Amino acid sequence: ILKKYVDGIPTETDMEVKLGETIGLKAPKGSSCFIVKNLYLSCDPYMRGRMRDFHGSYLPPFVPGQRMEGFGVAKVIDSDDSNYKPGDIICGITGWEEYSLLHSSNELRKIQLDDDDIPLSYHLGLLGMAGFTAYAGFYEICSPKKGECVFVSAASGAVGQLVGQLAKLHGCYVVGSAGSNQKVDLLKNKLGFDEAFNYKEETDLDAALKRYFPEGISIYFDNVGGSMLDAALLNMKVRGRIALCGMVSLQSLSSSSQGINNLYNAIPKRVRLEGFLQSDYLHVFPQFLQHVKGYYKDGKIVYIEDMCEGLELAPAALAGLFSGKNVGKQVVCVAKE
């Protein structure tokens, strides 16, 4: 439950876990609803946007005092909808609670259980919204070409880790930034990035980017915004592309007054900056699933997940995204089956 709207960086005490009203585990007759047992919940940076009292975004704010919601994997246990039967596993928007009453109008997809070797929680990351964001953003927005120089920020996170690996499979030179030496090590030694650096140890981000991209950046996949975007703008090649995926460094500022100063560079260099929402590209989702699942099964990509066990740890897990506590995709396990 969100206790109240948040100003600044969210902390676990902005949320609380409460014993709610007990619901019967039977879907009401005539409701076309179904009851699910929630198995895994996804922690995502966009949820920060729903913790403020602002109604002008693409999703409404959470209501203080009411349970939060987000992407999850859940098992149907009773149903009044003939399209969903007990035992079905679904992925989509569900409640941050043990059991939820859902309707098919919630954005849901069924998970086919023929993929026994792929853990169910991966449908929240590698094969879910985060992975799809990487896939759609990289191929649809960045128009990559073999041999190009790609920079990815928040590179070890849910989206970044796949962007970097897709860029490597595409024959690009790839550098990632992350906020700890442990993450830098993962980027270089597990995820196959050519280079990586800890942005918290750099006093001059422009100089750091010049070190790794002496001839400039062809593609910047921006997950953080702010001073990293500003530095990247100084280092873009002529006709470079910037995918504006997310601005996690700005999301928790209490005042939005901090601007970026180097945006002007986009003009003489004819840089294409494009913001996108993964939901604009859902027509590519089946192709994404087929490709990325294939890459994973063939051992061409790896996936790093950060799982915490128990709904009571969900507030800390979500808040941890904004201080970089997560190593890989942050997921909460509510129940294993």
* List of residues contacting ligand NDP (CB under 6 A): 44-46, 129-130, 133, 154, 156-160, 178-180, 183, 223-224, 245-249, 276-278, 321-322, 324, 326, 329
HSE toward the beta carbon, residue 117, CA cutoff 13 A: 6
* Cβ nearer to ligand NDP, comparing 27 with 158: 158
Of 27 and 178, CB closest to ligand NDP:
178
Cβ 247 to ligand NDP shortest distance, Å? 6
Yes or no: say if 14 and 78 are a contact pair by the CB < 8 Å rule: no
* Single-letter code of the amino acid located at 240: G
Work out how close the CB of 97 gets to ligand NDP at its nearest, in angstroms, rounded to a whole number. 22
Please provide the DSSP assignment of 152-188 as one string.
ESSTTSHHHHHHHHHHHHTT-EEEEEESSHHHHHHHH
Q: In the complex, what is the shortest distance from the CB of residue 245 to ligand NDP, in angstroms, rounded to a whole number?
A: 5
DSSP SS3 for 93 = strand
In the complex, what is the shortest distance from the CB of residue 156 to ligand NDP, in angstroms, rounded to a whole number?
6
Smallest distance, Å, CB 22 to ligand NDP?
A: 33
Question: What is the Cα Rg of the chain in Å?
Answer: 20
Using the minimum distance from each CB to ligand NDP, give the nearer residue, 168 or 329. 329
For ligand NDP, give the closer residue by CB, 126 or 178: 178
| Cβ-based nearer residue to ligand NDP, 113 or 282 | 282
CA distance 236 to 192: 23
Q: How far is the CB of 146 from ligand NDP (least distance, A)?
A: 25
CB contact set of 156 (below 8 Å; sequence gap of 6+): 176, 178, 183, 186, 187, 191, 304, 327, 328
DSSP strand pairing (33-42 vs 99-103): antiparallel
Helix (H, G, I), strand (E, B) or coil at 143: coil
Nearest approach in angstroms of CB 80 to ligand NDP is 32
Q: Which of 336, 198, 195, 179 lies closest to 248 in space, CA to CA?
A: 179
Q: Which is nearer to ligand NDP, 35 or 219 (CB)?
A: 219
| Smallest separation (angstroms) from ligand NDP to the CB of 62 | 16
289 CB-near residues (< 8 Å, 6+ apart): 127
C-beta of 129 vs 271, nearer to ligand NDP? 129
- Which residue lies nearer to ligand NDP by CB, 35 or 243? 243
Distance, CA of 174 to CA of 2 (rounded, Å): 39
Report the SS3 class of residue 192. Answer: coil
